[in-house]
Amino acid sequence: MAPFQAKRWLPVWVLALLDTLSVLGGGLTAVWMRFLPEFLGQELAVLISHPGFIAYAIGAQLALATTFDLYRPQIWRGRDELLVRMAALAVTLPVALTLGVYLVPGWQFGRGLLVLTLTSALTLQVIGRLGWLAWGANPPERQAVLVGDGPIVTSLLAELHHRPWAPFRISQHISAVALDEEPEKVQTSLSTADLLIVATLSNTDATERVTALNFRGTPVVDAAGAYTELTGRVPVLQVDSRWFIATGDFSNLATSPFHHLQRAMDVVVALGLLVLSSPVILLSTLIVRGAGGKPVIYRQTRLGRFRAPFTLFKLRTMSTTAEQNGPEFAEHEDQRILPFATFLRRWRIDELPQLVNVLKGEMSLVGPRPERPEITGDLEDKIPFFGYRYSVRPGLTGWAQVNHPYCSDLDDHRIKLEYDLYSLRHHGPMLYLLVLVRTMGALVFSPGR
Please give the full DSSP string across 317-354, using - where no structure is assigned: -B-TTTTTTS-----TT-TTBPTTHHHHHHTTGGGTTH
Burial degree of 328 (CB within 10 A; 0-12, 13-18, 19+): exposed
pLDDT value at residue 188: 79
Contact 266, 260 (CB under 8 A): no
351 Cβ contact list (under 8 Å, min separation 6): 314, 315, 396
Q: Which helix (H) or strand (E) holds 220?
A: strand 220-222
pLDDT value at residue 4: 60
Do strands 195-198 and 143-147 pair parallel, antiparallel, or not at all (unpaired)?
parallel
pLDDT value at residue 137: 54
Q: How far apart are CA 343 and CA 288, in angstroms?
A: 11
- Which sign does the torsion angle of CA 132, 134, 137, 140 carry? negative
pLDDT value at residue 267: 96
Q: Over the chain (449 residues), what is each successive 10-residue block's mean pLDDT?
A: 59 90 86 67 68 90 92 78 89 90 75 85 92 68 86 92 79 84 78 87 80 86 92 94 88 86 95 95 92 87 96 91 71 76 88 97 96 92 95 96 85 95 93 89 71
Q: How far apart are CA 310 and CA 326, in angstroms?
A: 20
Helix (H, G, I), strand (E, B) or coil at 391: helix
Contact 344, 350 (CB under 8 A): yes
pLDDT value at residue 178: 83
Q: Which helix (H) or strand (E) holds 430?
A: helix 429-445
Q: How far apart are CA 266 and CA 72, in angstroms?
A: 27
Domains parsed from the chain with CATH numbers:
2-136 (no CATH), 143-231 (3.40.50.10700), 258-445 (no CATH)
Q: What is the dihedral of CA 62, 63, 67, 70, to 10 degrees?
A: 0
Distance of CA 39 to the CA centre of its chain: 46
The 3-state DSSP composition of the chain as helix, strand, coil percent (nearest 5) reads 60, 10, 30
Q: How far is CA 310 from CA 269, 276, 362, in A?
A: 21, 25, 7
Contact 370, 420 (CB under 8 A): no
Distance of CA 220 to the CA centre of its chain: 27
pLDDT value at residue 51: 83
Query: What is the DSSP secondary structure assignment for residue 169, as one 8-state letter?
Result: E
pLDDT value at residue 3: 64
Count CB-CB contacts under 10 A for residue 49: 10
Q: How far apart are CA 95 and CA 29, in angstroms?
A: 20
